[in-house]
Chain A
Amino acid sequence: MMCERCQEREAEVHIKQIINGEVKEYHLCRECAETMGLEGIDLFPHFNFDLSWENLLGSLFEPFAAKELRRPVRTEIKCQGCGLDYSTFQKTGKFGCPKCYESFRDYIKPLLRKIHGADRHRGSKPELSYIEKDATGDELEQLKKELKEAVEKEEYERAAKIRDRIRELTSKGDGSDGKA
């Protein structure tokens, strides 16, 4: 195989990279590879094990900002926990503290749907079992209160979720939910 840059020498350096899910291959001779700085291997790029925010950023915020939110973000919302404002989050893609999720709850659901195709957790929960068992009764009372409140405020989506949770709790019966 000939070097794809100079078409003169035999290609000896074969480089594969996966960028945004596509494999890019380069076949170069040693000289060209060196001139292109490809001999210094990019073993550890700036990205993490995780999805990179930069790839997502452009596409994520724009489409839903206008459509999905009834309330326009006129006054800047701030997290009650750490003071981070929503526009800073939009810029950096990083929350400031766990309470940010609560503070921006309605705004981030569309974002989560874009990233994950879902906005509700279905995996494991903190399961210090002794707390769970004792809490079930209290939690039920609390949920009933919240349900009433949600219905009064006509927050039907939230009400439906609370109802689901109540159903979950009451259907458990023996207190085990099958999975460890």
Chain B
Amino acid sequence: MAKRDLLAHPIEWVKGKGSNSNIAVSSRIRLARNLSDFPFTHRCDHEKLYAIVDKVKQVILDSDLLKDSDVVEMDALDSLSRWVLVEKHLISPPFAGDGPGRVVIVDSKGVISIMVNEEDHLRIQVILSGLELNEVWRIAKKVEMTFEKLDYAFDSDFGYLTACPTNVGTGMRASVMVHIPALEMSKQIATLINECNRIGLTVRGTYGEGSDVLGSLYQISNQITLGLGEEELIDKVASAVRQIVTEEERARAVMKRKLDSSLDDRLWRAFGVMRYCRNISTREALELISLIKMGSDMEITPKLSVEDWNNLVLGVQPNHVQLYAGKELTPDERDVYRAAFLRERLKCIEPK
């Protein structure tokens, strides 16, 4: 398969079909699994890494669920393509680095992605748009069972065994990305983080621990993986997210009720800047996109669908901008192309 095809691969979560996808952008579950007969990835030599890859490929050929998937060797991709996959949330940032035997499998709908020889032999990931963790879990478990014949490393005390003790047990990380600009503006994020931590949940930036919070997008996920069942962990995350959605809606309603000229101006100004800018950083672009999305949800600025919004958020990322330009760019050049991209997209969104 040609690498450009994978970059143009449909991604289901972007379409914004799930419930509450205005605020709960996407739901993701990741399962870590290892084969019992092999050392963990970081202690495997070439031969073992490729032996694992071969076993996985064989399972895919025999699987109705996965046989139409794209199977791509990371080494066959240039660096730009790898980072585009990271921006799409199909692979993790460390997986985009160097090293032999890394393969990513993406199903034809762009719901399932499987990293082979990441920190664990298998990192099975399923993403859907909206707050849909139960459905995501159902799919993830189905995929996981497809590979069960490879004989997972499992211990009746410790559960599924992983290279790092922080993932052992269920090997599961369930996370939901939320867009909460109104909670941010009303200074409620610190409280939210405290509350989440108190019940065993973690709040992170868009691309994980230590990454910046951009465009008011936060990830809510389970902190522990051992001692609770998968459904219990999922319920925790889901019920926290439901509350966050309610709080965000409430904060927006309050803002709308006492809408002053300064907020009104800020939202429209964001629209104007995006429509006419000539040079814009990722950070500023994401902030403006967040504002015009909230403005659209509050019926102040023109309607922006969830799908268009998701495509804007992806499109302004550094590697997507280079994909848009069709060539590698310096950071300064990127800011110019990013502005061009935004102008082009905003042309189609008309103020009434």
A residues with CB within 8 A of B: 13-19, 21-23, 39-53, 56, 81-82, 84, 93-98, 101-102, 105, 108, 111-112, 115-128, 161, 165, 179-180
Q: Is the interface of A mostly helix, strand, loop or mixed?
A: loop
Indicate if B203 sits at the interface (CB-CB under 8 A).
yes
Q: Is the CB of A98 within 8 A of B161?
A: yes
Please give the distance in Å from B322's CB to the nearest CB on chain A. 14
Q: Is the CB of B283 within 8 A of A41?
A: yes
Indicate if B169 sits at the interface (CB-CB under 8 A).
yes
A sample of 20 inter-chain contacts (CB < 8 A) reads A13-B283, A17-B213, A23-B193, A44-B207, A46-B210, A47-B210, A47-B211, A48-B93, A49-B208, A81-B39, A108-B165, A112-B165, A115-B226, A117-B227, A118-B227, A123-B169, A123-B172, A125-B154, A128-B148, A165-B156
Q: A105 to chain B: which residues have CB within 8 Å?
A: 157
Indicate if B301 sits at the interface (CB-CB under 8 A).
no
* A18/B164 contact (C-beta < 8 A), A43-B318, A112-B226 known: no
Q: Is the CB of B212 within 8 A of A97?
A: no
Q: Is the CB of B227 within 8 A of A116?
A: yes
Q: Is the CB of A121 within 8 A of B318?
A: no
Q: Is the interface of B mostly helix, strand, loop or mixed?
A: mixed
Q: Is the CB of A119 within 8 A of B165?
A: no
Q: A97 to chain B: which residues have CB within 8 Å?
A: 38-40, 43
A40: nearest chain-B partner, CB-CB: B331
Indicate if B224 sits at the interface (CB-CB under 8 A).
yes
B166: nearest chain-A partner, CB-CB: A51
- Per-residue CB contact flags for chain B residues 171-201 toward chain A (1 = under 8 Å, else 0) read 0110100000000100001100110010010
Indicate if B336 sits at the interface (CB-CB under 8 A).
no
Please give the distance in Å from A68's CB to the nearest CB on chain B. 16
What is the bound-complex CA distance between A43 and B204, given in angstroms?
A: 12
Q: Is the CB of A94 within 8 A of B163?
A: yes
Q: Is the CB of A119 within 8 A of B226?
A: yes
Please give the distance in Å from A161's CB to the nearest CB on chain B. 7
Q: Is the CB of B159 within 8 A of A17?
A: no
Q: B86 to chain A: which residues have CB within 8 Å?
A: 44
Please give the distance in Å from B76's CB to the nearest CB on chain A. 21
Q: B40 to chain A: which residues have CB within 8 Å?
A: 94-98
Q: From the candidates A48, A94, A180, name the one contacting B92 in the complex (CB within 8 A).
A: A48
Indicate if B167 sits at the interface (CB-CB under 8 A).
yes
Indicate if B249 sits at the interface (CB-CB under 8 A).
no
B157: nearest chain-A partner, CB-CB: A120
Q: Is the CB of B210 within 8 A of A42?
A: yes
Indicate if B22 sits at the interface (CB-CB under 8 A).
no
What is the bound-complex CA distance between A111 and B158, given in angstroms?
A: 12
Please give the distance in Å from B79's CB to the nearest CB on chain A. 12
Q: From the candidates B96, B228, B317, name the one contacting A123 in the complex (CB within 8 A).
A: B228
Q: From the candidates B166, B230, B281, name the one contacting A39 in the complex (CB within 8 A).
A: B281
Q: Is the CB of A18 within 8 A of B213?
A: yes
- Per-residue CB contact flags for chain B residues 26-44 toward chain A (1 = under 8 Å, else 0) read 0000100010101110110
Q: A81 to chain B: which residues have CB within 8 Å?
A: 39
Indicate if B94 sits at the interface (CB-CB under 8 A).
yes
Q: A22 to chain B: which residues have CB within 8 Å?
A: 190, 193
Known contacts A46-B94, A50-B166; can you find 15 more A-B pairs with CB under 8 A? A18-B204, A43-B206, A44-B86, A44-B93, A44-B96, A45-B207, A47-B208, A50-B167, A53-B166, A112-B165, A115-B224, A116-B225, A121-B158, A122-B169, A122-B227
What is the bound-complex CA distance between A61 and B50, given in angstroms?
A: 35
* A50/B212 contact (C-beta < 8 A), A23-B193, A97-B38, A98-B34 known: no
Please give the distance in Å from A106's CB to the nearest CB on chain B. 11
* A118/B224 contact (C-beta < 8 A), A124-B141, A125-B154 known: yes
What is the bound-complex CA distance between A130 and B205, given in angstroms?
A: 43
Q: B281 to chain A: which residues have CB within 8 Å?
A: 39, 41
What is the bound-complex CA distance between A121 and B226, given in angstroms?
A: 5
